[in-house]
A and B are shown apart, each in its own frame.
Chain A
């Protein structure tokens, strides 16, 4: 079992739909990252969370430390949101990030 599990692995939505991507982890963490990777490679850091909720534009990230779970929500999805979304955690007892396998999101017009 991976220390960081994401679901779903693949997600297809219609433009305008509300999207949720989930991340569960099994270790103690000091922070959790949500990253976005478009085809062609570059990774963009969307959020870094240690508690509660953060919002940026149409993106909302929440984390529940007790349940070891985080969600990334996209409201009013758009085809340009199509990308791989990666959850990564910084464990309290280490100096590395542990990555999930990523969620491939496709938003159709």
Chain B
């Protein structure tokens, strides 16, 4: 099983709603990532979890709240979003988090299909 599964595929929400995006992998990967991608732009890193602990937060607004309940699951909780938050949200996983210095880099990424979010 080399899949990263994201649900839902599409989500429309109002600015006062609370919703969650879910990501699941069963490859034994210990690093999981959330990326945000706007149309015709490359993905932008939001969060990195390594061994179920948050290791990188790219100064993401607090209306986005990540959660890693176990090594296979990654959630992104959404609350009080703005229309400009509408984007494709991509989850990815890798065997381990990238290691500085280049040694032992095992960072091949496996991406999910993404959750397309529209905020009205």
A interface residues (Cβ-Cβ under 8 A, vs B): 30-31, 33, 35, 40-45, 48, 50, 86, 88, 90, 92-97, 99-102
Contact = CB atoms under 8 A, between A and B. Distances in A.
Interface in B96-120: 97-102, 105, 107-114, 116
B43 interface: yes
A7 B92 CA distance: 26
17 contacts: A31-B105, A42-B112, A43-B109, A43-B111, A45-B108, A45-B109, A48-B107, A50-B105, A86-B42, A90-B105, A92-B102, A94-B100, A95-B99, A96-B45, A97-B45, A97-B98, A97-B109
Most central of A50, A99, A101, A102 by chain B CB within 10 Å: A99
Given A35-B109, A42-B114, 9 more contacts: A31-B102, A35-B111, A41-B37, A41-B113, A42-B113, A93-B100, A95-B56, A99-B42, A102-B40
Interface of B: 37, 40-43, 45, 48, 55-56, 88, 90, 92, 97-102, 105, 107-114, 116
B100 A43 contact: no
Given A41-B88, A48-B108, A90-B107, A99 B43 contact: yes
B46 to A, nearest CB: 11
Given A41-B90, A43-B90, A90-B105, A96 B98 contact: yes
Given A31-B105, A31-B107, A92-B102, A100 B42 contact: yes
A29 to B, nearest CB: 8
A94 to B, nearest CB: 7
A79 B90 CA distance: 25
A45 B106 CA distance: 13
A92 B100 CA distance: 6
A40 B55 CA distance: 29
A27 to B, nearest CB: 12
A92 B101 contact: yes
Contact of A33 (B41, B56, B109, B113): B109
